Amino acid sequence: MKLDQTLFGAAFRNPVLLAAGTCGFGEEVWEVMDLRTLGGIVTKSVTLEPRAGNPAPRVAEFRAGMINSVGLANPGARAVRRDKLPWIRDHLRSIQVFVSVAGHTPAEYLEIVRILDDADGFLGFELNLSCPNDTRRGSLPFALDPQALTQVVEGVRSLTSRPILVKLAPNAPDLSLPARAAEEAGADGLTLVNTLPGLVLDPRTRRPALGAGAGGVSGPALRAVGVHAVWRVRQATGLPLLGVGGIASGEDAVQYLLAGASLVQMGTASFWDPRSAERVRNELEHFGRREGVAHVSELVGGALLGSGGVAADPVPSSIPATASTGPDVHDG
């Protein structure tokens, strides 16, 4: 099966990317895997000012996955431009790189894009709109507030001609709303999903597993949520979708493609096996060969759903958008 995909005017040698926050800025994982075997990477989310991050432990495993609250630790936009992008330009020419951007206010997103936009070495931006926004209405992330989302995406759209991906939260009551808002505001693609707010407690100490308390759930526990989100949004917009959440095998990736994703991203699996993304790419190829699929694009949106008698989305659209991730800044 051929794996190449052309999207956003760029050639992806295969549909497997590393997800934001799980491969640093590439250099951090260069020793353990050859990133040039992948379709691309998304960098750690970049904030305007440097962030030291949250207290340890920042990551904890549990039976069904992982929970993290790294606190968006990163060197800040100016240092990323000076110290990280030149390395990316020199080493990752043959793959596609998205720089992930996170802010507390719409103005911060715009300022970060202004700082980075005319640097070389990357294809586009992925707007992480799922980090809690602590300057408005408690800590509701932009992705759960279509109006705020529109403000950020329209602002960034007016500043850059690069492709813009918008990364959505899995806990929106009706994902078609932020998806359509992002499309109308000028997004080129959507990334689904970010981590799901969660809490792991130690029953004996009665304390949370993470230093920051609550965090974001990733890994196998998130996979069915992510596949459903992609399927749901596929029906709401025509934008290219990037599926992420719990992918650890080629067949996991196929589920996302069938639901409607054109590309996939992997995070947690790389913590357990640093070369898992390369393995998933190979497994995808074998799957296609075994199943007689000539090109990966034939799988995209191929799930036998909807008119085939499968139950409609169980989420009633009347649920008010009051979900919140709480006061902790977790990643992503």
Among all residues, which ones are annotated catalytic?
131
Choice between 57 and 173, CB closer to ligand FMN: 57
Output the CA torsion 146→80→17→229 (10° steps): -10
Please identify which residue in 17, 23, 59, 209 interacts with ligand FMN, judged by CB under 6 A: 59
Backbone region of residue 65 per phi and psi (left: phi > 0; alpha: psi in -120 to 50; beta: other values): left
Candidates 171, 255, 268, 297: give the one binding ligand FMN (CB under 6 A).
268
Strand partners of residue 2: 295
292-311 residues in contact with ligand FMN (CB under 6 A) are none
How far apart are alpha carbons 123 and 99 in whole angstroms? Answer: 8
Report angle CA 225, 109, 89 to the nearest 5 degrees.
85
Is 144 among the residues that bind ligand FMN (CB under 6 A)?
no
Which amino acid, 304? L
Phi, psi of 8 (to 5 degrees): 55, 30
Interstrand relation of 5-7 and 164-168 (parallel, antiparallel or unpaired) = unpaired
Exposure b/e, 21-60, CB count within 10 A at least 16 = b: bbbebbeebeeebebebbbbbbbbbbbbeebebbeeebbb
Choose which of 97, 113, 165, 244 interacts with ligand FMN (CB under 6 A): 244
Least distance between ligand FMN and beta carbon 308 (Å):
28
| Residue 20 in the binding site for ligand FMN (CB under 6 A) | yes
Stretch of 112-120, 181-189, 239-247, 252-260 contacting ligand FMN, by CB under 6 A: 239-247
- Whole-number minimum distance, CB 57 to ligand FMN, in Å? 11
**Residue 124 makes contact with ligand FMN by CB under 6 A:** no
Q: Taking the complex as a whole, how short is the minimal distance between the CB of residue 194 and ligand FMN, in angstroms?
A: 5
Non-local (6+) Cβ contacts of 234 within 8 A are: 241, 259, 260, 301
Residue 332 interacting with ligand FMN (CB under 6 A): yes
Give the per-residue contact string, 73-112, with ligand FMN (x = CB under 6 A; - = no): ---------------------------x------------
The correct pick among 178, 208, 219, 243 for binding ligand FMN (CB under 6 A) is: 219
Binding site for ligand FMN (CB under 6 A): 19-22, 44-45, 59, 66, 68, 70, 72, 100, 128, 167, 194-195, 218-219, 222, 244-247, 266-269, 331-332
